[in-house]
Structure 1
Amino acid sequence: MTIKLIALDIDDTLLNSKGEILPSTIAAVHDALAQGIKIVLCTGRPLAGVKSFLAQLGIAGDDQYVVTYNGAIIESVAGRVLVKHLLDRATYVRLTEFAAAHHVPFNVLDEHSTIYTADRDIDFMTVVQAMENSAGMLVRDPAEMPADFAIAKGLFVGRRAVLDAAEPAVMAEFGDDFYVVRASPNFLEVMAPQVDKGKGLAELAKQLEITAAEVMAVGDEANDLPMFSFAGTAVAMGNGSEIAKGHADYVTETNDAGGLADAIRKLALAPVKN
């Protein structure tokens, strides 16, 4: 089956261990775009946090797309929103109260790339999050926010040991009502129940009239598994988690060894005719 859309995770997939895009990746993406293949970044970040990568890859315009906030918002690269699934202010209150009771750093992201937290002592990972996502940050108690305030996702953040200890309680409290995923060792995220990367990718593919068999997804972590389940071709990075590799159709080289470019060329690009 011809690949018409390639969905790419960002951290440790598109980016190498230095947080850079390899020249071989840029060249492979350019060749894919030239063959009419959609390259869709599927990420937990907001659009503002991926614009620099899109520019490096040469992905622009209102007919190219991103799946952001782990699937909570699907939009064009130009910022036209196709689909969004947000959480309401009452959920923000509930999550914040839980975090305070369990002494876990917590923040939320709204749909405009602004971080809100009730924590007066800002955890270092929240600062990193703001920097990586080009996000503003405000210290606000939920009670200070208007009744119609909505968020794209909530994030329990901090050191691995802190989240390891908190994760069972978070899952027990919120797992039945929301999509809860450990996106990385330092981020445990809560989103609307109809949200994940796979559902977002499926919604986008439907609008583009592309079948699952025509989709290739590449990732490295647990939050990439839903798009692995949807895509006809699932590729795990060689540096990825064992759970990601176990759910993939193909395991490529690591993000430092050009694994993404290799996978694109081997599995998606049509042979060049002389």
Structure 2
Amino acid sequence: MSPETPPLAVDIDGTLTDDRRALNPRVIPVIRNWPERVVVATGKAMPFPIALCEFLGIERTVIAENGGVVFVESTDRLELVGDKAAADAVAAAYRDQGYDLGFGTVDLANRWRETEIVVQIDQPVAPLEVLAEDHGLVVLDTGYAYHVTDPSVDKGTGLETVCAELDHEPGDFLAVGDSENDAQLFDVAGESVAVANADPTARERADRVTEASYADGFLEAVAPYRE
């Protein structure tokens, strides 16, 4: 007999995707048919998880920008936490030192961000960390980008904000992820699972680690609730 299905908080990149960040179609029916609430928790700007929920056909309850942005559709609540002016100042100073954010002229990675900025993972991180510290911010390495963000927010505080709007506690949730930015989410969730490709911080903070990687790891993580 399967255990009672919990609400689900799930990362996108590296968790619902393959190693090229393409969504694995096998996760679609699982999330669409999940019988409890699903919260999409990501480092991406809000339009990306909102679009994912839209196309999956689920309620738009999202944590974006590593907790800096939280939207709960059922209560029409949008919360923004973070010093975007300071993050923009870091980006400007980084460019003044001769570096580049690395996402091209249009820069879709930063175009819709409201609380932080991101820098391509192949750009120098040491000067970025110095500039971030000078502005009271931190650099978070998600494995996909460097996020210059407010140290007071994370995916864990994001889930707490979601739960304050809804009839849930963070401890009710199953959380699945793969990166350092999922660790605080794991800390507050009732059960946490890192997929096999997860970084050391996520693996250490998770209750269990799957044998499979990427989306196959997600499917393994939720399998006990689907049997």
Give the alignment's TM-score, normalised by structure 1.
Answer: 0.70
Report the Cα offset of residue 270 of structure 1: 6.4
Whether the 8 Å contact between 1:104 and 1:166 is mirrored in structure 2 is no
Report what 1:146 is aligned to.
none
Report what 2:93 is aligned to.
98
Does 2:106 correspond to 1:153? no
Structure 1 letter corresponding to 2:95: A
* Matched ranges for 1:49-64 at <5 A: 49-60=48-59, 64=60
Report what 2:47 is aligned to.
48
Report what 2:28 is aligned to.
26
Q: Which secondary structure does the structure 2 equivalent of 1:50 belong to?
A: helix
Measured against aligned partners, the alpha-carbon deviations of 1:13-59 in whole angstroms (never above 9, x if no partner) come to: 01122433333312222331xx2x11111112223223442244321
Report what 1:181 is aligned to.
140
Report what 1:214 is aligned to.
172
Report what 1:254 is aligned to.
213
Report what 1:116 is aligned to.
none
Does 2:41 correspond to 1:82? no
Report what 2:127 is aligned to.
166
Report what 2:184 is aligned to.
226
For 1:232 and 1:179, locate their aligned partners in 2 and report how far apart those are by CA, in whole Å. Answer: 27
Whether the 8 Å contact between 1:71 and 1:195 is mirrored in structure 2 is yes
Which runs of 5 or more structure 2 residues have no equivalent in the other structure?
A: none
Structure 1 letter corresponding to 2:10: L
Q: Which secondary structure does the structure 1 equivalent of 2:214 belong to?
A: coil
Whether the 8 Å contact between 2:63 and 2:70 is mirrored in structure 1 is yes
- Cα 1:129–1:241 change in 2 (3 A) is farther
Whether the 8 Å contact between 2:88 and 2:117 is mirrored in structure 1 is no
Report the Cα offset of residue 73 of structure 1: 1.3
For 2:47 and 2:106, locate their aligned partners in 1 and report how far apart those are by CA, in whole Å. Answer: 15
Which runs of 5 or more structure 1 residues have no equivalent in the other structure?
A: 107-122, 137-149
Does 2:200 correspond to 1:236? no
For 1:181 and 1:223, locate their aligned partners in 2 and report how far apart those are by CA, in whole Å. Answer: 7
Aligned residues: 224
Whether the 8 Å contact between 1:179 and 1:194 is mirrored in structure 2 is no
Structure 1 letter corresponding to 2:213: T
Q: CA RMSD in A?
A: 3.0
